[in-house]
Every structure is written in C-alpha cells, then in structure tokens.
Structure 1
Amino acid sequence: MQFLQRKCIPPLVFCSIFALFLLFFSTFSHFNGVPFLFFHHISAIGDSFDFVENQLKLTPVSTPPSPPRFAYLISGSAGNGDMLKRVLLAIYHPLNQYVVHLDRKASPEERLALEEFVKGYKVFNEVGNVRMIVKANLITYKGPTMVANTLHAAAILLREGGDWDWFINLSASDYPLVTQDDLLHTFSNLPRDLNFIDHTSKIGWKAGQRAKPVIIDPGLSSLKKAEVAWVKERRSVPTAFKLFTGSAWMALSRPFIEYCIWGWDNLPRKVLMYYTNFVSSPEGYFHTVICNAEPFRNTTVNHDLHFISWDNPPKQHPRRLRLVHMKLMLDSNAPFARKFYPNGRLLDKIDAELLSRGREMFTPGGWCAGSGENGTDPCSVVGTPTVLKAGPGAKRLQLLIDFLLSSGTFRERQCK
C-alpha cells in the first residue's frame, strides 16, 4: 500500500505542474491584445537584445476634444436690419447660441421685420438657439448704455442659452472671414478659460479726454436718443483700480462673464459705476475688470480676433473696408473683420471665396444634411452638429492662435 502511494506521487506532481502551466498560459496568452507566443521572439542588435514587447507599443486611442460652443450678441441700430440678418446667417451654427438686438432708434416696422425673420426661420425654430431682444434698449455709443446692453445679452445667454464656452459680441458692421466649422475646430484645442481682449494700461491722451471728463448718458433715463451731456467738473484718475483700455470687440470666457454678471466680489459693480460717466466705456469696462481681477488677469490673450483698418492717427471710427483690403484681411489670419459697407461687393467676395455661402443661405458646414438640389440651401436640413469640416480658414486662424499663445507673446502682453 505504501508502495502504491509512492508510485502515485510522480504522476500527481506532473499533473499539478501541467495544470499550473495551462493556467499561466491562458492568463497571459493575450497580454494587451497580443498573443503571448510573440513575446518569445527576440531581435539581436549589437550586444543587446530588444524584446518585441518593447517594440509593440500600441498607440493609445485618443478621444478628440468636444467642440466648444459660442454665445453671440449681434447688435445694430436703425437701418441695420438687413445686415443683422446677413451676419446671423453667415455665422450660424446649431452648436452656438445667438441674441440679436436692434436698438430703439430703429423704427417699429424694421424691428418687427427682424423679429418675424428670427421667429419664422425653419432652422432657428427647429434648433431653438436664436432669440431676439424684443424690448429694445436705447443705445448711446459713446456712453455706458452699450455696456449695459452687452451685459443684458450675456445675462440672457447665461439664463437661457444652456452650456456655452465663449461670449462674442459683434455688430452689423462685422463679418466673418472663416466658417464656424473653422472657428469651432480651432478653438476645440484651447483652454476654455482664455479671454481674447485687446487691452493696455497705457491710456495716454484718453486720461485727459475720456477718464477725467464726466458725462451723463441720456439713454439711462430717457426714451429718446440724444447725445451724451458733458458736466463741467472733472475728476481724477482712480486709485482703487488701474484703468485699461482697448477694443470694444472681444471673445470672453464663460467663467469671466459669470463673474461680471454675478460678481461674487464687488469689483465688477464698482467698475461699472465708475464707467457710467466715462466716454466710450465699451473700450474700457471689461478690460479694467479683467486686468484688476486676480483670478482672470492671467487668462487674457491680447487680441480682439478682428482685422480693423485705422487711420494714422486713429479717429473715433475705423476705415470702411474695400476690395483693396482683401489681402490684408487674409494676411491678418483674423476670424472677423470690420467695418464693412452694408451689402457691398467685398461682402459678396467673402461669401464666394471664403465662406462658400450662397445669397440668403447659411455658411456650409459639417452639420448641413440637405441635398442642395435645385439651388436649395443644403443647410436647411440639420444633420449632426458636432461634425466639423474645417477648411483653409482653420489653417489661417491656427497660425494666429499659435502666435498669440507663443512663449514670447502670451505672457509678455498680459495686463501691462
């Protein structure tokens, strides 16, 4: 009996070892999806050996960043109704949100025609991302009512616009030089706390002609548009915060817009009260707030994303753009430009060569699912909004962004 037990031990040991080998083989036979047997091959290179697992470095599947969403304010005054429609169609995308404002100087008939256009457009109704401020504000462009109107639109977009990443203000004199697919594609890879705002603390002559004079904007208390009133007394430059100035056109991050609207500290309100009596306050309010707010001063990109042609020395308003400015606009790599003649030949050229947009049609993009047969707008049928078809405009814009965020430009030009 003892002999039989001893005789059975070797087979049992062999079976146990064989079972362990099978278990080991089954566990590692598909390490990282590669059959285990491949790892036994070696490659002799000189005096060293490189195992194949070191060569089979699988490229991780990277998920592309989701497209951002822009929230636009498009504003105009009397006679701008048709241009507001054109700008809206040119920059429309289902991912974005839009507020359209035609100020109180426009006739009731013009405002009603624009309202009916917004409410009656099939795609706008289907997507539900375009709204018009029906109770129009009175805007005095040298006064603070323009800032108040911008904050009003931003508040509406925060309340009704769902998720969005950047707030962009445009006028009826602005026009895009790239498609929205180009813009969304390029901004997909950017940190979403960046604020594109042209700014400087070197206010120069503006200290004497804008900061020290005191004005009263009749648009704050009157239903009739009138020029700002000048007060004889002058004031000193503030010491509680540092003044900054720059372009009135900007792309501001949602966190900064929330800060301006909700103001969890008192700086946005304090600065707003100061700019109530400031000449051309849209060229200073947001700039002064962001550069005096510690959480945001290092998020600024010193550019307004516009091509603008100024006289030398600059006047109150920039030059009107003509066909001769086309190459300069493209060389700027900016996504927007201003000021344009309403429905001029330059706009037609931009539609044809840069936006591939037909008259009274949307700018085409990956979201357009229509056939385009018989001259119909292919974007009259909404497809998948997150499908982007970036074109040459994205390449131009990327060159601008790369320059603005380069090590020698980005930090050196922040809130100085």
Structure 2
Amino acid sequence: MGSSGLAATLRAAAALLRLDSEWDWFVTLNAADYPLVTQDDLIHVFSSVPRHLNFIDHSSDIGWKESQRVQPIIVDAGIYLAGRNQFFQATEKRDTPDGFKFFTGIFRSPWVILNRRFIEYCIFGWENLPRTLLMYFTNVMLPQEGYFHSVVCNSGFRNSTVNNDMHYMVWDDPPQMEPHFLNITHYDEIAESGVPFARKFRENEPLLDKIDDRILRRWRHRPVPGAWCTGRKKWFNDPCSQWSNVNIVRPGPQAEKFRKHMNQILEESLSGNNSCTQ
C-alpha cells in the first residue's frame, strides 16, 4: 500500500523508455501472477492488435471505495524510511476531488497493459494532468488501483481503453479484498479461458506444475522455450542454452485461444459499453 509502489512502476517505465525505442506495450505484473501463454504466443497475438489501445479494467462507480480508499489520507513510510513498508494514516479525511473524475478497477485491479504513447504521456507530462493526479495519488492508500485508470479516462486517451486486465481470477460475489487461491480443479477452465495471465497461487501449488507441463512446455527450473532456442533438446541439455534471432516467434496451441479471447474483448470494446464515460 502507498505511493512507493506506483513510484517504482513509473520509474521502471521511464527506464524502459530510455533503454529501448521499439517496444509497444508496458505490462505490469507482480510475483503473484503466472503466465498462461508463452512469450512467443504473447508477441504473436499482440503483433496484430492496434498499437493505440490500453488494456485497463476501470469504472467510475467506486461505491464503498470512496469512503475507504479515496477519502482517507495516508503517508507512505516506504518513501523515506529504509526497511519499512507501513503507512501512516491521518485522522481526518478529504473530500472526493471534483477537478477530475475518479476511476478505479472494478475488481481491485492494478494490473494494466499500456501503450507506449500513453506511458510517454504519464512520464513526460506534456500536460499538467499526469503530474496533478500523481500529487493527489501520493496520499491515496492504493494508488496503483486508480492512478493510470484516472489519468487515461480524464485525458485525450479516454477513447483508447479496453476494459479488461487480461487476468484469470476467481472472486467472491460480491468481491472481497483478494481473489481466491487457484488450485488444480481450476485447470480446465484456465486452459480454455484464453487469457494470458492468472493469479493467485499458493507456494508449491501443483496447478503451476501442470501449467508448466501442458501449456508452457517448460522443463523444471528452466525458461519457457521459444523459437529463439536453438540447442538440441536432450534430458541433460537445455535447448535454450543456445539461441539465435529473438525476433522470430513460433506460437503454440494456446495462442489461438488467446487470439479468440482478444478478438472477443476488442469487439466488446467497439460496442461502446466499456468507455470511460460510465
């Protein structure tokens, strides 16, 4: 909780902008996420997606979050105290801002896939909006669940949103603070979902081994293989210990499921039901 997580995300984005000029999307994940597609699958499907889109689960219907997430004032101790991640909370609350419309994830969703142009807008701030919202979200309890959502929907990028965070999760109804832990009984639905990421898992969860074996074709303690792996596949030799052109991709069966899922959410986005006006 607190703004140090958002600061780290923005710093990472700024570093990537400086390091390379050819990437198209910035994908945010954390240690609780696990891939359901190979890197080749991901690149293959996104290669045909319009580059102006931003995949971000968002809504302005914040409900109970207004009093418990928007109005409380906190100070993130992690910004100036080494080795601490607690935060300090003020006794009073502040009014919900009227200078911009507050957006947040429908299902507590800080996970986003943002296009390069929008990341440049947030980092370089050629308008005051990104910096103004960053100052406000510095004292919000969970800023990563609302900063990018609010910036995109209050800016000229509002028509670029696809209301989806590309994650498979199982929630209570109504949703609680965190999704359920996934287990082996969820495998069939996960495999057919077509989404590229899932969360969250217990340590040493057998479901992860099944995903590695059947979906990612990943050997234990080795990377997920791709077309870039050119070594011979033997039980004692890692084929990815040798590589060639990393720009060559070889999509697998899961890529087709991912493409169908992508086409579906893009069609829903074109219907206008997922715009920032809601």
Tell me the TM-score range normalised by the shorter chain: over 0.9
The aligned amino acid for 1:364 is: P
Partner Cα separation in structure 2 for residue 389 and residue 186 of structure 1: 11
Contact 2:72 2:140 in 1 (8 A): yes
Aligned with residue 379 of structure 1, among 240, 248, 272: 240
Question: Is 1:231 aligned to 2:93, yes or no?
Answer: no
- State the Cα distance separating 1:410 from its structure 2 match: 5.0
CA shift digits 1:17-36 (9 cap, x unpaired): xxxxxxxxxxxxxxxxxxxx
Q: Determine which structure has more spread, i.e. the larger CA radius of gyration.
A: 1
Partner Cα separation in structure 2 for residue 392 and residue 374 of structure 1: 24
Contact 2:130 2:151 in 1 (8 A): yes
Question: Is 1:183 aligned to 2:42, yes or no?
Answer: yes
Question: Is 1:405 aligned to 2:266, yes or no?
Answer: yes
Contact 2:163 2:269 in 1 (8 A): no
Contact 1:361 1:377 in 2 (8 A): yes
Q: CA RMSD in A?
A: 1.4
Aligned with residue 112 of structure 2, among 241, 250, 255: 250
Partner Cα separation in structure 2 for residue 286 and residue 407 of structure 1: 21
Alignment of 1:72-151 (within 5 A): 142-151=1-10
- State the Cα distance separating 1:407 from its structure 2 match: 5.6
| Identical-pair percentage | 48
Contact 2:227 2:248 in 1 (8 A): yes
**If the length of structure 2 is used for normalisation, what is the TM-score?**
0.94
Q: Counterpart of 1:195? A: 54
Q: 1:394 to 1:210 in 2, by over 3 A?
A: same
Question: Is 1:216 aligned to 2:75, yes or no?
Answer: yes
Partner Cα separation in structure 1 for residue 58 and residue 4 of structure 2: 21
- State the Cα distance separating 1:293 from its structure 2 match: 0.8
- State the Cα distance separating 1:226 from its structure 2 match: 4.2
The ranges of structure 1 where at least 4 consecutive aligned residues each deviate by more than 3 angstroms after the TM superposition are 407-410
- State the Cα distance separating 1:319 from its structure 2 match: 1.5
Q: 1:313 to 1:407 in 2, by over 3 A?
A: closer
The aligned amino acid for 2:113 is: A
Question: Is 1:297 aligned to 2:158, yes or no?
Answer: yes
Query: May I ask how many residue pairs the two structures share in their alignment?
Result: 274
- State the Cα distance separating 1:345 from its structure 2 match: 1.0
Q: Gaps (5+ residues) in structure 2?
A: none
Contact 1:210 1:278 in 2 (8 A): yes
Partner Cα separation in structure 2 for residue 208 and residue 407 of structure 1: 31
Aligned with residue 187 of structure 2, among 309, 322, 326: 326
SS of the counterpart of 2:61?
coil
The aligned amino acid for 1:251 is: I
- State the Cα distance separating 1:248 from its structure 2 match: 0.6
Question: Is 1:272 aligned to 2:134, yes or no?
Answer: yes
Partner Cα separation in structure 2 for residue 162 and residue 216 of structure 1: 35
Contact 1:301 1:410 in 2 (8 A): no
Partner Cα separation in structure 2 for residue 229 and residue 407 of structure 1: 41
CA shift digits 1:159-215 (9 cap, x unpaired): 123421111111111110011111111111111111111111110111111111111
Partner Cα separation in structure 2 for residue 273 and residue 208 of structure 1: 19
The aligned amino acid for 2:219 is: G
**If the length of structure 1 is used for normalisation, what is the TM-score?**
0.64
Q: Gaps (5+ residues) in structure 1?
A: 1-141
The aligned amino acid for 2:222 is: M
SS of the counterpart of 2:28?
strand
Q: 1:410 to 1:159 in 2, by over 3 A?
A: farther
- State the Cα distance separating 1:368 from its structure 2 match: 1.1
Partner Cα separation in structure 1 for residue 257 and residue 132 of structure 2: 40
Contact 1:322 1:346 in 2 (8 A): yes
CA shift digits 1:293-337 (9 cap, x unpaired): 11x111111111110112233222221111111122223321000
Greater RCO, 1 or 2 (C-alpha within 8 Å, sep 6+): 2
Partner Cα separation in structure 1 for residue 48 and residue 269 of structure 2: 20
The aligned amino acid for 2:167 is: H
Partner Cα separation in structure 2 for residue 321 and residue 161 of structure 1: 36
